[in-house]
Amino acid sequence: MRLIMLGAPGAGKGTQSTFFAERLNIPHISSGHLFRKNITEKTELGKEVQEIISRGELVPDRIVIAMMMERILQRDCGRGYILDGFPRTYEQATALKHALLEYGEQIDHALSLEVPDELIKKRMPSRLVCPDCDTSYSALNNPPLVPGVCDRCGAQLVTRADDNEETVSKRLETFHNETEPLKDYYRRKGILIEVDGTKNPDEVYKDIVRALVHHGNH
């Protein structure tokens, strides 16, 4: 199964993507994780990405598309994958569509987590992320079992530098202008599934499963 996870920053895309990657035994491919890997390794790409992200802007399509397609074509994606943070623009979505068509593949479902901006702004300062496996946590509704420690790999959790109030507001504005229109794009293709993302992560996961089963029967 090839899935796309849509939603505003802080909507819970990373958490739900992790759930489904483990359930379906497919890779969770996060554009943010790929970017941070390059940033940590201080590659030339990483330096460029760091400067862009620190301004609360989106990484240019030319960088994102090349990086994501290289990852999607790796052997472990043969059974499917879940894309988190990509595509973010209409150009990226159409580039993904055409690239997949070359291999006789297509996206099965686009899952959109619906969370109001005001709740996003409350969530973001409490968000923690694992720098090693990219698992996300929240002190509000999804805390780690041991404070400050990742449940999955034991690494020390960190707060992202771009989760401050000013940058979050910029990222939300960019999301509404650039990414939210993708809902209509995938709705027209008949593969969009919208889910209430304001609930507890376990409840959101169950709602997505039910929606996928219902969608698969129609």
- Indicate which residues carry an active-site annotation: 13, 88, 127, 160, 171
C-alpha to C-alpha distance for 210 and 204, rounded to whole angstroms: 10
CA–centroid distance for 119 within its chain: 18
| Those residues with Cβ within 8 angstroms of residue 215's Cβ, 6 or more apart along the chain or in another chain | 109, 193
**Residues 130, 153: contact at Cβ < 8 Å?**
yes
Structure tokens, 202: 């376990």
145, amino acid identity: L
C-alpha to C-alpha distance for 21 and 9, rounded to whole angstroms: 19
What is the greatest pairwise CA distance in the chain? Answer: 48
Radius of gyration, CA atoms only, the chain:
16
End-to-end CA distance of the chain: 17
Q: What are the CA-CA distances from residue 49 to residues 21, 32, 94, 115 (Å)?
A: 26, 10, 22, 27
Match 């999301």 to its residue by tokens: 175
